Amino acid sequence: MKRVITYGTFDVLHYGHVNLLKRARALGDYLIVVLSSDEFNKIKNKVSYYTYEQRKIILEACRYVDLVVPEYTWEQKRNDIQKYQADIFVMGDDWKGKFDFLSDLCEVVYLPRTPDVCSTKVKKFLQEHDANK
C-alpha cells in the first residue's frame, strides 16, 4: 500500500482544494492530511474562518481523505513521514523546492494548483459581498 501525506490549512474548502486532494490520493492508496492546528495558525499569523475541529470534519467528509491529523510545528514533517510510513509527500507547486530536504525519506511531489482559485480570493469575495449587504 502506498501512503501519501500532504499539509495545509484548508480553510474555506473550495474546488481547488478538492482537485489537489483528488490528485494527491491518485498517487497512492491512502491519503493523510496533516491539518494546521489553530495554535499553529497563530504562529504563522494566519486566521482561519473555521476552527481546526470544523476544518477536520469537512476534510474527513471528502472521499479522497483517509486520515486527518493536526500540525503543530513546521519541523514535525520528518517525524510524520516516518510515523505514518508515507511513501509520497505532496504539496502545491507554489512550494516547489521548499521540501526537497525530505526526499531522503520519501518521494516529494509538487502538484500544480488549480488556476483562478485560492482561499484568499474566496475570503476577499465573501468580505466584499458581506460589506455590500
Residue with cell 511513501: 87
Distances, alpha carbon 85 to alpha carbons 52, 67, 74, 82, 90, in Å? 24, 13, 18, 5, 14
> Which one of 2, 42, 46, 124 is the catalytic residue?
46
| Helix, coil or strand: residue 19 | helix
> Which one of 42, 44, 96, 124 is the catalytic residue?
44
The set of residues, in sequence order, having a beta carbon less than 8 Å from that of 98 and lying 6+ positions away, is 91
Q: Distance (Å, rounded) from C-alpha 98 to C-alpha 111?
A: 13
Question: Would you give the end-to-end CA distance of the chain in angstroms?
Answer: 51
Could you confirm whether 44 is annotated as catalytic?
A: yes
Could you confirm whether 124 is annotated as catalytic?
A: no
Residues taking part in catalysis: 44, 46
